[in-house]
Structure formats: C-alpha cells, structure tokens
Amino acid sequence: MTQPNQPVWHEPAVSRDQRWTHHQLRGATVWLTGLSGSGKSTIADGVARELLAADVLAYVLDADNLRHGLNANLGFSDADRSENVRRVGEVAKLFADAGVVAVVPIISPFAADRARVRVAHEAAGLDFVEVHVATTLAECERRDTKGFYAKVRAGEMRGVSGVDAPYEAPTAADLMVAHDGESVTESVRRVVEHLRQLGVLGSRNA
C-alpha cells in the first residue's frame, strides 16, 4: 500500500526526445574532478566558451558557487562532501535532461560518489563524461590559487583534499587532461572534441 507522504513520479507531458528535437538540443554532463588549484574551473569556462561559439547550450555548475546557495548548509566532513556531490550530480542530471551541457568543476574526492553520479546518468540514458584534471599536487601547491595549501601546511586549516583529506583519483576516467604540462587550450580542445565524438555538438557544428 502506498503511504500518503511518499512521492509519486509524474511523467512530463513533453518528452525529452520532443524537447531535444524541437529545440535542436542534446544534453550531457561533463564532470571535471581534480585537486584544488588543478585548473578545473578554468577548463570548464574554456569549454563553455567553445560550446557557446558552436551554438551549443551549456552551463557551468561551479561547485564553489553552489555552496553559496543550494549547498550552503553543507560543511566539509566526508558525509557532507558526499552529499554535496550527490546534490550537484542530481542538478547536472536535470540540466542534461533539459538539453543543456552541464559542465561541472568539482573536486568530488571519493570514487564511489562519482560512480553514483555516473550510474544515475546512465540509468536515465544521459551522457556522462568524467574528466580527470590531473595536475600534480606539487603544481597545485605552487599555484595555491585560494591559499589553502599554505594554510594547511602552516597548521591553520584542515581538510584539504590530497593533503590531509582523501582524494581518490579516477582510475578509468573518460579523459585525462592537464597532465605532463598540457596547456589549458589543449585540455579544452580535447574535451570539446570528445563531446563532438559523442554527437553533442551535432553535424551542424562539424
């Protein structure tokens, strides 16, 4: 027997195929994981600019920005980091279903959390591209764009992924970028080319 407070799935009147076909859209999620300072947001912005130039609707779901609103009530415990990834993954899936390319720069330190996001997309019939932004810890510390590494090394801060908190690097990412001195331009090009191969850009942008 159905309980009165249990949500019931409501099938939309306009299907995904109808929406994508009518508006010439094809949604997907590009999930950029890597250490703080690895260049995830810079690459995400570059991908968004290239997709704009190709007339592809895209939106950057920056994890830091989402912590100002949707995830403002979450901290940085392991449980909160997992919940942060779950929420961002669900939002990305909604964007992709709508026909938007969701570009998500997020540390997402735990492999199991990233795998759950992938499985949710695949179960919904949506493309999910995991991109490992594989900048080394040494280079991330050299950049120290947010000052986190200096603070944790000085004992003024705790919980930095890859230093005193876990970071489980992907072992089978769809793409690995930003390694061996690869430039931002080349990393962006390779992500966009992967999306082209998936058919996200479409023949009109070939």
Would you name the residues annotated as active-site residues?
Answer: 108
Question: Can you give the C-alpha Rg of the chain in angstroms?
Answer: 18
191's tokens: 């992500």
The span from the CA of 27 to the CA of 199, in Å, is 10
Could you write out the three-class secondary structure of 152-168? Answer: HHCCCCCCCECCCECCC
CA angle 33, 145, 186 (to 5 degrees): 55
- State whether residue 193 is helix, strand or coil: helix
- State whether residue 147 is helix, strand or coil: coil
The span from the CA of 79 to the CA of 62, in Å, is 20
CB 106 within 8 A of CB 40: yes
The span from the CA of 128 to the CA of 158, in Å, is 32
Q: Would the CA dihedral through 23, 94, 118, 114 be positive or negative?
A: positive
